[in-house]
């Protein structure tokens, strides 16, 4: 009613209409992209943790293969090697494995041979290294050589290198995926901005002819799409956090698989999603709007 | 001047409008009246020749200069160009908002102006709910609300009755008296005849100055 309008209480309305029929579709598309981006981030974090765990376990251990020399029995050589290694600085424990374990290791290649005792099967010594100042493979070799033992030290470097390489591949693949999804979100926003400008050409034209600067008009679209992207980002991040939480619940402490152990704290990684989505959308909308306004 | 690769809509136009003058532009439909106004309110650029505005060559204006120049011009567009999602009050206040004024500085002036043009009881209404004449008066209110240095009006009295047309004309005269340069494109020969203002007559894109056609109102 006209009587209810009080100029003293008037507040300027938004230059652009508050709602647009295309908003729900846009929110859904950006939310899906944000969901995928968050899942990628969670996957990278979990994969990185798994790789670190494996590398850490391998770094803390070494295996020594001992071959008996002269008249010494394999068991005696292994026991002497374990005793020698236990005295090396940086070794927390050295333990000769029972001969059955050595037999178990070679049985897959030799089959069920009954008289393995007749074969010169080498013995294994499992060495646990000090986590803070681990002994080097060279140091272990030197100590064994000094005792006249014929032994091969395997400090698992070849595996550690492979695991680190695999972790690097996971990280970079995740980063590339994340970038691709961000670019896809930017493209969606640019397209929506273009459509929004076309649909609101009347508003843009009036503002333009009434003296609005290009930046002022671009700001309207920038804020509008940043707000939409932030809302979408919140939806996508929430869905990804729920999915991550579900994986954590289903798989327990190991996650759904030991290869991807998800921790509860990892779910916090989705928090910046709405802000990042808003920034990507704002930049895409601003660049698109400015270019289109200049062509008016 | 031409649009794209089309024919010339204006040619051999050479005129100078002194600051504070009052002119009518007349001519049949398609004569180029709106195109001439577009050149002045910087919505189009000449395909040849020079337009000087506020003593400055328009071709030399930068992207920053253009909005500043446009803020010094009030325009009543032929198709009004009101924003349908905004109230009459918001539409009228638009130039002041764009110029960066605070609402507290202009609330009262906008309300007063809307009341003066007969929209005091329709400030909340959105353009789709306004009658043709009300829309036209709202467009006029928006054009004059920031007391522009130049006022351009393209058929400003096309949808209003004779009495309101005279009221609007008197508003333009008052603004002109306060220093605004006024240029009105119109088919309203009666309005032109009542004034003693110079007339720029366009025909097929060419300018033919005519003498004043009647007494001053």
Residues A64 and A48 reside in one and the same domain: no
What percentage of chain A reaches a pLDDT higher than 90? Answer: 8
Q: How many whole angstroms separate alpha carbon B122 and alpha carbon A2?
A: 6
The contacts of residue B13 (CB under 8 Å, 6+ apart) are B36, B49, B205, B206, B207
The more confident residue out of A272 and A17 is A272
B94 with A206: Cβ contact below 8 A:
yes
- Concatenating the DSSP letter of every residue in A121-171 gives PPEEEEEEEPSSSPPPHHHHHHHHHHTT-EEEEE--HHHHHHHHHHHHHHH
Residues A109 and A193 reside in one and the same domain: no
The pLDDT value recorded for residue A241 is: 93
Mean confidence (pLDDT) of chain B: 87
pLDDT of residue A238 exceeding 80, the answer is yes
* Nearest-CA distance A2 → chain B (Å): 5
Domain that holds residue A65: 56-160
pLDDT in tens, A97-113: 877 777 777 677 766 66
A7 with B93: Cβ contact below 8 A:
no
Whichever domain contains A132, its CATH number is 3.30.70.100
Residue of chain B nearest A20, judged by CA positions: B85
DSSP-derived 3-state class of residue A222: helix
In a domain? residue A4: no
Phi, psi of A32 (to 5 degrees): -65, -45
pLDDT band for position B185 (50/70/90)?
Answer: very high
The full 3-state SS of B28-70, as one line of letters, equals: CCCCCHHHHHHHHCCCCCCCCCCCEECCEEHHHCCCCHHHHHH
In a domain? residue A34: yes
pLDDT band for position B9 (50/70/90)?
Answer: confident
pLDDT of residue A28 exceeding 60, the answer is yes
In a domain? residue A3: no
Pick the most confident of A55-69, A91-105, A261-275.
A261-275
Q: How many whole angstroms separate alpha carbon A290 and alpha carbon A281?
A: 14
Residues A282 and A226 reside in one and the same domain: yes
The distance of Cα A257 from the centroid of its chain, to the nearest Å, equals 15
Taking alpha carbons only, the member of B40, B101, B38, B37 closest to residue B69 is B40
Q: How many whole angstroms separate alpha carbon A295 and alpha carbon A65?
A: 76
pLDDT of residue A176 exceeding 60, the answer is yes
Of A129, A160, A191, which marks where a domain is finished?
A160
Q: How many whole angstroms separate alpha carbon A5 and alpha carbon B111?
A: 10
The pLDDT value recorded for residue B163 is: 82
Residue of chain A nearest B114, judged by CA positions: A7
From the CB of residue B195, how many other CB atoms can be counted at a distance below 10 Å? 20
Half-sphere exposure of A36 (CA within 13 A, CB side): 16
Q: How many whole angstroms separate alpha carbon A90 and alpha carbon A97?
A: 20
Residue of chain B nearest A217, judged by CA positions: B98
The more confident residue out of A151 and B210 is A151
Of A160, A193, A216, which marks where a domain is finished?
A160
Tell me the ipTM for this assembly: 0.86
In a domain? residue A11: no
Mean pLDDT within A50-66 = 79
Q: How many whole angstroms separate alpha carbon A45 and alpha carbon A40?
A: 9
The pLDDT value recorded for residue A115 is: 65
The pair of structure tokens assigned to B109 is 């002036």
The more confident residue out of B141 and B167 is B141
Taking alpha carbons only, the member of A213, A187, A219 closest to residue A16 is A219
Q: How many domains does chain A have?
A: 2
The more confident residue out of A88 and A196 is A88
The answer to whether A240 and B100 are in contact (CB under 8 A) is no
In a domain? residue A199: yes
The pLDDT value recorded for residue A1 is: 44
pLDDT band for position B215 (50/70/90)?
Answer: very low
Q: Angle at Cα B211 formed by Cα B207 and Cα B215, nearest 5°?
A: 140
pLDDT in tens, A103-157: 777 677 766 666 666 677 778 888 888 878 888 888 888 988 888 888 888 877 7
Of A110, A145, A160, which marks where a domain is finished?
A160
Residues A172 and A264 reside in one and the same domain: yes
Pairing, β A123-129 against β A61-67: antiparallel
Q: How many whole angstroms separate alpha carbon B9 and alpha carbon B1?
A: 6
In a domain? residue A8: no
pLDDT in tens, B103-149: 999 999 999 999 988 899 999 999 999 988 899 899 999 999 999 99
Residues A171 and A112 reside in one and the same domain: no
In a domain? residue A134: yes
The pair of structure tokens assigned to B43 is 């919505």
Q: B83: which chain A residues are within 8 Å (Cβ-Cβ)?
A: 15, 202-203, 206
The answer to whether A34 and A233 are in contact (CB under 8 A) is yes
A213 with B83: Cβ contact below 8 A:
no
Mean pLDDT within A7-30 = 82
The pLDDT value recorded for residue B216 is: 41
Residues A190 and A47 reside in one and the same domain: yes
The answer to whether B74 and B95 are in contact (CB under 8 A) is yes
Residues A72 and A123 reside in one and the same domain: yes
Q: A2: which chain B residues are within 8 Å (Cβ-Cβ)?
A: 120-125
Domain ranges for chain B: 22-210
The pLDDT value recorded for residue A117 is: 66
pLDDT of residue B206 exceeding 50, the answer is yes
pLDDT of residue B214 exceeding 60, the answer is no
pLDDT of residue A20 exceeding 80, the answer is no
Q: A207: which chain B residues are within 8 Å (Cβ-Cβ)?
A: 94, 98
The pLDDT value recorded for residue A164 is: 79
The pLDDT value recorded for residue A2 is: 45
**DSSP letter assigned to residue B149:** S
Third-level CATH fold of B22-210: Rossmann fold (3.40.50)
In a domain? residue A2: no
pLDDT band for position B212 (50/70/90)?
Answer: low
């Amino acid at each position: 009613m006209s009587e209810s309008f009080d100029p003293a209480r008037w507040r300027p309305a938004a230059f652009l209409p508050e709602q647009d029929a295309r908003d729900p579709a846009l929110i859904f598309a950006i939310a899906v992209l944000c969901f995928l981006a968050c899942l990628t981030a969670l996957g990278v974090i979990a994969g990185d943790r798994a790789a670190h765990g494996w590398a850490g376990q391998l770094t803390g251990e070494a295996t020594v293969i001992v071959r008996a020399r002269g008249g010494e029995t394999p068991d005696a050589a292994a026991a002497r090697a374990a005793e020698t290694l236990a005295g090396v600085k940086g070794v927390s424990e050295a333990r000769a494995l029972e001969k059955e374990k050595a037999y178990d290791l070679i049985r897959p290649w030799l089959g069920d041979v009954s008289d393995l005792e007749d074969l010169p099967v080498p013995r294994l010594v499992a060495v646990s290294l000090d986590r803070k100042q681990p002994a080097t493979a060279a140091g272990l070799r030197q100590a064994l050589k000094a005792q006249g033992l014929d032994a091969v030290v395997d400090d698992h470097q070849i595996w550690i290198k492979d695991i680190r390489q695999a972790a690097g591949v996971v990280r970079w693949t995740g980063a590339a995926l994340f970038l691709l999804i961000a670019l896809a979100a930017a493209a969606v926003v640019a397209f929506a901005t273009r459509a929004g400008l076309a649909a609101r050409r009347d508003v843009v034209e009036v503002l333009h002819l009434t003296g609005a600067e290009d930046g002022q008009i671009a700001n309207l679209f920038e804020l509008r799409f940043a707000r939409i992207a932030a809302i979408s980002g919140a939806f996508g991040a929430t869905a990804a956090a729920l999915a991550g939480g579900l994986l954590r619940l289903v798989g327990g402490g190991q996650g759904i698989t030991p290869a991807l152990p998800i921790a509860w704290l990892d779910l916090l990684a989705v928090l910046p999603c709405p802000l990042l989505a808003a920034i990507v959308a704002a930049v895409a909308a601003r660049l698109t709007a400015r270019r289109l306004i200049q062509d008016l | 001047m031409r649009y794209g690769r089309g024919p010339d809509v204006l040619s051999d136009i050479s005129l100078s409008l002194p600051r504070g003058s009052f002119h009518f532009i007349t001519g049949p439909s398609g004569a180029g009246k709106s195109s001439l106004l577009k050149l002045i309110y910087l919505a189009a650029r000449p395909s040849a020749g020079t337009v000087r505005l506020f003593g400055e060559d328009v071709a030399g204006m930068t992207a920053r200069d253009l909005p500043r120049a446009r803020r010094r011009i009030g325009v009543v567009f032929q198709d009004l160009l009101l924003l349908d999602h905004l109230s009459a009050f918001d539409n009228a206040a638009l130039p002041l908002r764009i110029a960066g004024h605070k609402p507290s500085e202009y609330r009262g002036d906008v309300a007063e102006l809307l009341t003066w043009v007969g929209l005091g009881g329709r400030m909340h209404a959105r353009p789709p709910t306004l009658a043709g004449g009300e829309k036209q008066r709202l467009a006029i209110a928006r054009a004059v609300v920031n007391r522009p240095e130049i006022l351009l009006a393209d058929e400003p009295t096309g949808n209003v009755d004779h009495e309101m047309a005279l009221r609007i004309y008197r508003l333009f005269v008052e603004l002109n008296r306060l220093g605004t340069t006024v240029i009105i494109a119109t088919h309203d020969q009666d309005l032109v005849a009542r004034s003693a203002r110079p007339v720029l007559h366009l025909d097929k894109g060419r300018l033919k100055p005519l003498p004043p056609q009647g007494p001053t109102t």
